[in-house]
Structure 1
Amino acid sequence: MGIKKIILCVAACALAAFALAACGSGGSSTGGSTGGTSAEGGGTDGAIGDSGNQGGTLTGAYAAFPDYLDPALSHTGEGWTAMYSTYIPLLTYAHANGAAGGKVIPGLAEAMPKVTDNGKTYALKLLKGLKYSNGEPVRASDFLHSLERVYILNSSGSPFYDDIVGAEKFAKTKKGGISGIETDDKTGTITIHLTRPRGTFENELALPFAAPLPANTPDEDLSADPPPATGPYMITHSKPGSGWEYERNPQWAQVNGKLMPQIPAGHVDKIDIKVQRNPQTAVNEVISGSLDWMANQVPPDRYQEILTKYEGTQFRVEPTVSTYFFWMNTTVAPFDNLKVRQAVNYAINPAALERIYSGRLKGNQQILPPEMPGGEKVDLYPHDLKKAKELIAEADPSDREITVWTETEPPSNDVGAYYQGVLQELGFKVSLKILSPDNYFTVIGNSSTPDLDTGWANWFQDYPHPNDFFQPLLSEESIAATNGTNLSRFADPKLSQKITELGEEPLGPEQEAAYAQLDKEFMEQAPMAPYGSSTASTFVSDEINLENVIYNPTFGQDLTSFEFK
């Protein structure tokens, strides 16, 4: 995000009936702890979440408003958390902890797709009788209209679907429709034709971008007036920058929940989310009980205190599949010079950054997180400031004025200041721009933003496959004028082709080894400076049953699992 994906997704937030989403830029976060109810697709007699304590209003706080509250546009953990069980795609992810939460299960579709034509044709059938929260029937053709809307809005999620026949043409013309998607509203059938096999396509059909919306949904950002929902909850009010609210979707109890028993119904009746930009205040409000849950991280200077006093009762550390990094714009000086980029990698000290994160980050210098298949150690640039300065001297860049970008949320602000200091030590004149998390990734993903030299970012998994850390972050197709996720604007046709070829193959030991090699080949070109993977956390008031809270590997805390004691 999530950016899924790319953003300090760290687990964001909200929606009572759904599991918070990524991130990442992108964006998305990772998975899970013990406890909670898991939904494995099929084999349940009723809607998950019907048991346990019911009712009440859950209050939560985000450190910033999500990038978007529109499923076609959001690509951050905060946004995906907020919409996981509001907008349900044809396929979705199980509401479960850890690896079980990475399983793709049917959502609005009757079953998993029938795949034919050597992996190039996917056939699905829409559940009969589904309704949006406004009472409109869900139609098969809504899927086509919604995916076309993703392209019309130039969403960062569009590259996931470029292999659909006609998608790339439609991306350019915005006319004539996507010819590779056939729908029949009478039978509910949806047939998708691809130009080539895509081993990750079921995962991508389960992302929020692909969630059907009513055919008359406007082709504009609807964050201030989110569209009708298909999930257990609906967003009833949204004020960008301030907060948003949910109520139960009346169609869930009447229709949709009976058709999708594998998806939790949730426990609370309402959810009120506010933007609380002061993390110290959020921590104090959770302790006092005036706030039920804080979506973002406990600030570094409170982390050990909260861990020691509340772990196991109100606080839990959550593992994530994530990469934190500094991107370098390879299209402009001085980062169009390989030696400069390599120098930066040598100059970054992951151990120093571990201290800034107060133990929440494990330092490494690889693109693929260690928990991801193919995530083997890459150690091309052990910390060596002397070597870094020698490379700068060899490169002798004529442009030594650099702008570093980061966001205000701790510790990203301190990390940006650290990076500024490193570049100054290498002889650059560095200015630091610190933006609100509300629009940070939108701004740095827009190629028209001036002085996009280098900056901080992170990426949490969109789905449990190594392709998710290469295609969005480093492929040529992810370089975009707006909502771009290839922040380094790095283009290497041969490496992009390798991403495409590996993405066509089923994931196995041979492919995992190839992804590990691809990680090394990209890092030899040093388009970014990865420095570690982080944990996330769940911190709730004493009124919430922590044991039952699910932390999904892509969407974070599953708010359908939040219940009052």
Structure 2
Amino acid sequence: MKLLAGALLSGVMALGAGSALAQQTGGIVNVATIGEPPTLDPMVSTADLVGIVTQHFFETLFTFDKDWNVTPLLAESLPEITDGGKVYTIKLRSGVTFHDGSAMTADDVVASLKRWMDLASRGKQTAGNIDKVEVVDPSTVRIVLKSPYAPLLALLAFNNSAAVIMPAGKMANPLTEPVGTGPYKLKERKPDQYIQLVRYDGYKPRSGDANGYGGARKPLLDEVRFVPVPDPNTRIEGAISGQFDYVDSLPVESYDRIKNLQTTKPVLLKPFGWPVFVMNTKQGVMANIDSRMAVRMALSMEDMLAAAFGSKEFYSLDGAMYPKGYVWHSEAGTEGKYNVADPDKAKALLKKANYDGKPVRILTSRQYEFHYKMAQVAAEYLKQAGFSVDMQVVDWATLTQRRADAALWDIYITHSPFLPEPALIGQLSESSPGWWSTPARKQAVDAFNTESDPKKRPALWAEVQKVMYVETPSIKIGDFNALSAQSPKLDGVVPAPWPYFWNVSVKK
């Protein structure tokens, strides 16, 4: 983790320590997002948008500090780990209350973790490694593993498919009453208009300073309003006019328009992450490994990135799952399989696959405009290779719903920040849309996940990457930088892949 932190700290994406000292309290912040979240239940969704909103009112036992180390949040401290890495004993913070006024206890935590293992893709991923989760006493929880599982704490800390803590009596599925422990609480949701959060006066911050997503979280604002703005041009104009105090996910070509304005200023996260084409390995055209490899051989990553981001200031060609400078960086498996753009090789693979001309359904959204632009370029390259293509352009909420049904798509387009633990990558979970489940995957991923020695894990990750290139459950397109915008009136905003607004105030 510390080696990884060095890479993150070299760019704007490093999470600043921050401090709420001498900041004003009060005020309302309007945040423009890429659309309406499909749910406010962070367990059942891997959509970043859901995590961005719900991290303000739901919390996890652990989170990540400014150096991307796991740090306690609702837990009092990091767990005591015994029995060769198989037993995690977790002490809970005292005095934490839910938004309904009830005190958080170990019963709530155990019930929440069991719900997470039943419903969340990352919870299901973890459940097979867990023997039991039990109450030790009202302020202590014990997790007993079947064998050592290195990603456990990172999975418990992640805000995506998140192991959030809810009251034991308020865990309906689907969730009907979102009640958490966070610095803000949900007051009102008007679909396609806004999600209104208000300060939770009963919130008890951790002591000390802010530290990335960890440390003290202080609810300084009266309200945070998340406003869905699906059209990227409308988000740009809303930033320029000052209509919104923070605007998430702007097209990078708007950078020159906003960089010298009085009403807003750019927030550039560099490096941010990677766009990815996820394959439906369960059924349909992409269930055939040769068809998936044909897609890989057909595509020009360079042309897709250029169409999506324009200037090379905002993207770079890179087949490795992590860029140079990260402890996880490896070129293993990429040789001759990245940015090939060879229609003849693709045609040969299609012939081997006995492809019958059935359209490849590419599921994408214009709310992330760069997804759509890459899909347009990809479609042309796939047609050259002999594929028939059906582009399905939907809103992001619909995409996240459709991708859960294997009968409805063949490829969907998404993106991810560079995550501190590779096990957090969604495509590694057999229950994540794409449903990659093969003996080679199991052997490589299990070896990586069960190795607790940090010095040995990078080489094992390289083996996972090799299998990903051979079996092609997904295709990384390259590396990219992300652009957002914020009002100069905001104080305390720390550039982060999932923007947050505790410890943020409005200058008066």
Do the structures match in fold with TM over 0.5? yes
Match of 2:23 among 52, 57, 74: 52
1:219 equivalent in alignment to 2:172: yes
CA contact (8 A) 1:322 1:369 kept: no
- Cα distance between partner residues in 2 of 1:118 and 1:437: 43
- Cα distance between partner residues in 1 of 2:130 and 2:344: 52
Once the two structures are TM-superposed, the CA of residue 368 in structure 1 deviates from its matched residue by 4.2
**Residues 1:204 and 1:401: Cα distance change in structure 2 (over 3 Å):** closer
**Matched residue, 1:9:** none
Letter in 1 for 2:167: P
Letter in 1 for 2:127: D
Equivalent pairs counted in the alignment come to 485
**Matched residue, 1:341:** 292
1:458 equivalent in alignment to 2:415: yes
Structure 2 unaligned residues grouped into runs of 5+ = 1-7, 210-214
**Matched residue, 2:394:** 435
1:364 match: secondary structure? coil
1:265 equivalent in alignment to 2:222: no
**Matched residue, 2:17:** 38
Letter in 1 for 2:330: E
Letter in 2 for 1:391: L
- Cα distance between partner residues in 2 of 1:141 and 1:32: 41
CA contact (8 A) 2:13 2:270 kept: no
Match of 2:362 among 393, 404, 407: 404
CA contact (8 A) 2:263 2:488 kept: no
**Residues 1:473 and 1:340: Cα distance change in structure 2 (over 3 Å):** same
**Matched residue, 2:197:** 246
- Cα distance between partner residues in 1 of 2:282 and 2:74: 42
Once the two structures are TM-superposed, the CA of residue 217 in structure 1 deviates from its matched residue by 0.7
1:343 match: secondary structure? helix
**Residues 1:549 and 1:206: Cα distance change in structure 2 (over 3 Å):** same
Match of 1:137 among 88, 93, 103: 103
CA contact (8 A) 2:61 2:157 kept: yes
Letter in 2 for 1:33: V
Once the two structures are TM-superposed, the CA of residue 33 in structure 1 deviates from its matched residue by 2.2
- Cα distance between partner residues in 1 of 2:387 and 2:251: 30
**Residues 1:502 and 1:441: Cα distance change in structure 2 (over 3 Å):** same
**Matched residue, 1:206:** 157
2:292 match: secondary structure? helix
Letter in 2 for 1:119: G
1:290 equivalent in alignment to 2:248: no
CA contact (8 A) 1:70 1:226 kept: no
1:86 equivalent in alignment to 2:44: no
Letter in 2 for 1:529: I
Letter in 1 for 2:473: P
1:72 equivalent in alignment to 2:27: no
**Residues 1:164 and 1:525: Cα distance change in structure 2 (over 3 Å):** closer
Letter in 1 for 2:31: G
Match of 2:251 among 292, 299, 306: 299
CA contact (8 A) 1:289 1:542 kept: no
Cα-to-partner distance string for 1:61-82 (whole Å, 9 max, x where unaligned): 1121223212322322211111
Letter in 2 for 1:92: T
- Cα distance between partner residues in 2 of 1:338 and 1:350: 20
CA contact (8 A) 1:321 1:371 kept: no
Structure 1 unaligned residues grouped into runs of 5+ = 1-28, 40-47, 167-179
Once the two structures are TM-superposed, the CA of residue 562 in structure 1 deviates from its matched residue by 3.1
Mean Cα deviation higher: 392-401 or 343-352: 392-401
CA contact (8 A) 1:63 1:278 kept: yes
CA contact (8 A) 1:321 1:369 kept: no
CA contact (8 A) 1:361 1:533 kept: yes
1:534 equivalent in alignment to 2:487: no
**Matched residue, 1:63:** 34
Letter in 2 for 1:229: G
**Matched residue, 2:493:** 549
- Cα distance between partner residues in 1 of 2:10 and 2:125: 22
**Residues 1:213 and 1:332: Cα distance change in structure 2 (over 3 Å):** closer
Letter in 2 for 1:52: Q
1:125 equivalent in alignment to 2:104: no
Match of 2:438 among 479, 492, 496: 492
Letter in 2 for 1:274: V
CA contact (8 A) 2:371 2:413 kept: yes
Whose relative contact order is higher, 1 or 2, with alpha carbons under 8 Å and at least 6 apart?
1
Letter in 2 for 1:464: P
Cα-to-partner distance string for 1:168-199 (whole Å, 9 max, x where unaligned): xxxxxxxxxxxx1121454x111110111011
Once the two structures are TM-superposed, the CA of residue 31 in structure 1 deviates from its matched residue by 9.6
CA contact (8 A) 1:31 1:318 kept: no
TM-score when scaled to structure 2? 0.87
- Cα distance between partner residues in 1 of 2:370 and 2:143: 43
Letter in 1 for 2:423: N
Cα-to-partner distance string for 1:439-465 (whole Å, 9 max, x where unaligned): 312211223x43x2223222335x512
Cα-to-partner distance string for 1:514-539 (whole Å, 9 max, x where unaligned): 21232123202223322112212230
Letter in 1 for 2:356: S
- Cα distance between partner residues in 2 of 1:299 and 1:444: 24
1:294 match: secondary structure? strand
**Superposition RMSD on alpha carbons, in Å?**
2.8
Once the two structures are TM-superposed, the CA of residue 263 in structure 1 deviates from its matched residue by 2.1
**Matched residue, 2:329:** 375
CA contact (8 A) 1:49 1:561 kept: yes
Once the two structures are TM-superposed, the CA of residue 37 in structure 1 deviates from its matched residue by 5.3
Aligned-pair identity (%): 21
**Residues 1:494 and 1:339: Cα distance change in structure 2 (over 3 Å):** closer
**Matched residue, 1:177:** none
1:361 equivalent in alignment to 2:319: no
2:185 match: secondary structure? strand
